[in-house]
Structure 1
Amino acid sequence: MTSAAAFRDRTNWSNGSYELAIEVGSSDDARIQAVLSALWSSADVRGCFGRSDREPEEQDPVPCTVESLTEFGHLRGQVRLPTGHLVVCGCVAIRGGDDSSDWLDFYVPVGALDQAGLVYWDGRPFFRSAVLDEWLATIGTETFRSASFDLGVIGFEVSGCPDASTLAGKLPQTRDIGYLLPQGDVLRYGAANT
């Protein structure tokens, strides 16, 4: 039997991801680095690795930096879910360029959630897990305390769904995904409610 924390098990990295996607708010490497460092720490990720084809003990760790993200495309580690299961996780940067914000996506692949036996879908036309939503909201809130950002969204493959400028500081009344929306120095969480 394989483990949900095994890097080499390709099925752990499959079927999309449940994520906390953070709109950083600029393309400044220093700001992205601050959010990345705070996020990795807040999630209590074990290790930081550039490859998924070797187990953590078979490769040297890489620095948790924007440079490593650029070099490897993703940073990978292991994280303990609120259910107690240790699973693979990762982070990817989506660089927006001059006219849009950069995003950092912290994710747990659906394949690892399946392997861990986590229930994350209940027949709706989209993936949802209240347990993961609350956990990711807590990680986002902790991250924001150390490194502010423009918006966080939580759910299945949510990066870039909405953006901070579209929301104009207001949570949608009907929410298919979770939102972490800054209002001044306070981060307001609007859980998915559909």
Structure 2
Amino acid sequence: MVEHHIEVPWDRLSLHDRVMLNPASFRDQSNWADSYYELGIEVGSADDAQLQVLLSALWSAADVRGCFGRRDCEPHEQDEVPCTVASLTERGHLLGQVRLPTGQMVVCGCMAVRGGDDSSDWLDFYVPTGALEKAGIVYWSDQPFFRSAVIDDWLAAIAIKTYQQAPFSLGVVGWTVSGCADASTLAGKFPAERDIGYLLPRDGVLHYGAANT
């Protein structure tokens, strides 16, 4: 017996089905599932004013739609929250929607990782891998880690645009990369073999060393 698959037009799908097929849906918890594909930025200071400048520049550079504190209801069902360090500290994450270079709108978020006295603070901008899967991004290449050159390059471009407004000492792009390196150890030089992408400033310009392994 031959089975025939009938594709239902988007405008005829139920609201529930639209939500479950939409990588930009907040309510669909599968969009937030698994881990994060990130741009991690080493802030290098625990100063909230410096972190605020970086957060504002990053949100603008990524062209994030909205700024919200809850992922259990859609953006139109909740009030926006200020894109501030105070909001980030209170809620743990700031959430929004962003357009990938492929054209797909997906959920995204940002969080701060406070390093304490012995290490730097980090600001992480991320797209959950659950949303990337639903958007059709291939980020697994028979490697023991996730990788997508398309997303790496996109995140690197966001970092370079952010740096123009808020300079920083190190950026890294890839799967769960926050804190995996530090500017003082790298001393301005890219590793020869790179499992992730690195962004290092030199003479006032942020340079990108893509993953090459």
Global fold match (TM > 0.5): yes
Which segments of structure 1 move beyond 2 Å, counting only runs of 4 or more?
none
* Correspondence for 2:132: 113
Q: Indicate yes or no: 2:50 matched with 1:28.
A: no
Q: Indicate yes or no: 2:101 matched with 1:82.
A: yes
Aligned with residue 151 of structure 1, among 161, 170, 173: 170
Query: Is 1:26–1:100's contact at 8 Å kept on the other side of the alignment?
Result: no
Between the aligned partners of 2:79 and 2:36, the Cα distance in structure 1 is 25
Q: After superposition, give the CA deviation of every residue in 1:62-107 in whole Å (9 maximum; x if it has no partner).
A: 0100000001000000000000000000000001123321100000
Of 37-46 and 120-129, more deviation after overlay is shown by: 120-129
* Correspondence for 1:52: 71
Between the aligned partners of 1:30 and 1:97, the Cα distance in structure 2 is 17
Between the aligned partners of 1:191 and 1:87, the Cα distance in structure 2 is 23
Between the aligned partners of 1:33 and 1:184, the Cα distance in structure 2 is 24
Alignment of 1:1-194 (within 5 A): 1=17, 2=20, 3-194=22-213
The SS at the match of 1:141 is helix
Q: After superposition, give the CA deviation of every residue in 1:7-64 in whole Å (9 maximum; x if it has no partner).
A: 0111000110100000011111011001100000000000000111111001000010
Rg comparison, structure with higher value? 2
Q: What RMSD over aligned residues (CA atoms) do the two structures have, in Å?
A: 0.7
Between the aligned partners of 2:161 and 2:44, the Cα distance in structure 1 is 17
| Structure 2: 5+ residue stretches without partners | 1-16
The SS at the match of 1:87 is strand
Of 178-187 and 66-75, more deviation after overlay is shown by: 178-187
TM-score if structure 2 supplies the norm length? Answer: 0.90
TM-score if structure 1 supplies the norm length? Answer: 0.98
Report the AA paired with residue 61 of structure 2.
Answer: S
Between the aligned partners of 1:168 and 1:92, the Cα distance in structure 2 is 26
Report the AA paired with residue 88 of structure 1.
Answer: V
Identity level (%): 70
